Each structure stands twice: as C-alpha cells, then as structure tokens.
Structure 1
Amino acid sequence: MIAELQQAVATYAHALDELDVPALEAILTEDTTWTFTVPGQGVLGPVTGRTAVLAFVREGHAAQTGKVRHHLSNVVVKTSNPDNAQVRAYLMQTRNTGETVQVISTGAYTFELRRSATGWQIADLTLALDNLPLP
C-alpha cells in the first residue's frame, strides 16, 4: 500500500508540471480541496472541487515563465487504512528558463488520499510554503 500511495503523490507532481489534465482529473477526487499557507500572505483557499482546482492549475501555468518542476522528497505515509491515508512530503520547486535554474520555493505537503474504484485519489491537499514564491 505504501508504494501505491507514493506513486499517487508522484503522479500528481508529474501531471501538475506537465499540465496533464486527464492525469490530474484521475488523481483528484471530485470534491478535492486545496489549501495553501504562504508566509506574509496567510492562508490561500481553500480551492474546492476538481473543476475549480483544474482552473486554478491552468491559471498558474499560464502565469509562469520557464519550466517549473515540483520535486517531492521525504515522502512518508503517516496514517493509512484500506480506504484513506495521509501522506507528507517536502517540496522544492524549481524554474528552468533555459538561461538559469533557480529554486523558487520550498515547503511541506500534506495529502489526504481516498481509495476509489480506479486507485488512490487526492481528497485534500495542504501546502505550507517556507518562503514567498518568486513571481
């Protein structure tokens, strides 16, 4: 089960970075909720529902420059049962403009996952950034 949960989190990061909407739709529950804590800005969100989250992701992709990657590390399954699980992971977000590569933010994710007929899906995503992201 641990490998399945880690795979779900990795699938999320790859789909997010590639704006792979079908993969994002598959990894998110219909009622998914995303909440972010940004130093100096407080809590952003929650963004609730798959449709709203996908619109939020599309807007973020349209605003970014360069190739942005979400590097997840120290992925740990905190709690799990056959139907629900909590996974924590650290984030290092980078941007490659072709001329420079920079770390644009770090933080910690908490994923609440729910098992569905198709596999594990993200029901709740919380991201606490350590620093202000760069524009």
Structure 2
Amino acid sequence: MAHRANFAHALDELNVPALEAFLAQDTTWTFTVPGRGVLDPVAGRTAVLDFVRDGHAAQTGTVRHHLSNVVVKTADADRAEVRAYLMQTRNTGEHVQVISTGVYSFELRRSASGWRIAELTFPLDNAPGGSVGGL
C-alpha cells in the first residue's frame, strides 16, 4: 500500500525518477472515459512519462491523486493485481474541485529491483473537462 501512495506522490510532484522506478519498461496505461469509450493505450515507459509530463503542463492549480480502498486481488511470487479507488482533486487557491473519480487497476510484475507497474487500467466514473493526462 505504501508503494501505491508513493506512486501518487510521484505523480503529483512530477518526480520523474521515482515514476520511472515504478514503471516496467513495457508498461501500458489504458483509460476508459464515459461518452468516449476506451482511449488508445499509452504503451512503454517513455510514452507514459511523456503522457504524465504533458498532463502536468496542461493542468492548472495543484492536482492531487487520492488513492483509497487499496485491495490486493491476487498475488504470487512474480505478479500481483491491485485495485484502488481514485479521487483526483484540483486546488486553485480560490476553490477545490473534484476533477474525476474512478478505479485504478494495477497489474504489478516483480523485477530484480522490486515491483513494477506492468499495466494500469483506469475506467473513469465521469468525463473530466480537458485532457486526462497525468491520471
């Protein structure tokens, strides 16, 4: 669970070295947005990091990823499947808003240096305005 919380901190702080350490080289992120369906996956560590950078560049205010109800669904020595609720908020200094909610599903793979995110799927509960970058 602390690993996932560190992931959210790394996303919010755009800590690229930490994010890179969380991601498998062949990681894939897939988003489902109401009214738009499944978006093209973002595939590969470099593409995911570019996606996160673009999301940060497009955002206004301070964005936070709040992970809760973290559940390890299955696990063995080399793989684990983890689900967590996500609520993403934005604080502009004048007001706080909920940008989106949904469920992160992580497929984790063990490497020589620790657990890595092999796949992240994120079906959003609502269609946020603008980009889904950085989710």
Same fold (TM over 0.5): yes
**Alignment of structure 1 residues 9-88 onto 2, 5 Å:** 9-88=4-83
Identity %: 75
Extract unaligned runs of 5+ from structure 2: 131-135
Is 1:111 paired with 2:103?
no
Count of paired positions: 130
| Equivalent position amino acid for 1:37 in 2 | T
Question: When the two structures are superposed, what TM-score results if normalisation uses the length of structure 1?
Answer: 0.94
Post-superposition shift, 1:41? 1.1
Q: Which deviations, in whole Å up to 9, do the C-alpha atoms of 1:2-40 show, x marking residues without a partner? A: xxxx22221211111110000000000000000000001
After the TM superposition, list the runs of 4 or more consecutive aligned residues in structure 1 that deviate by more than 2 angstroms: none
| Equivalent position amino acid for 2:15 in 1 | D
Asked if 2 retains the 8 angstrom alpha-carbon contact of 1:71 and 1:91, the reply is: yes
Post-superposition shift, 1:61? 0.4
| Equivalent position amino acid for 2:28 in 1 | T
Separation (CA, whole Å) in 2 of partners of 1:48 and 1:15: 19
Partner of 1:57, secondary structure, is helix
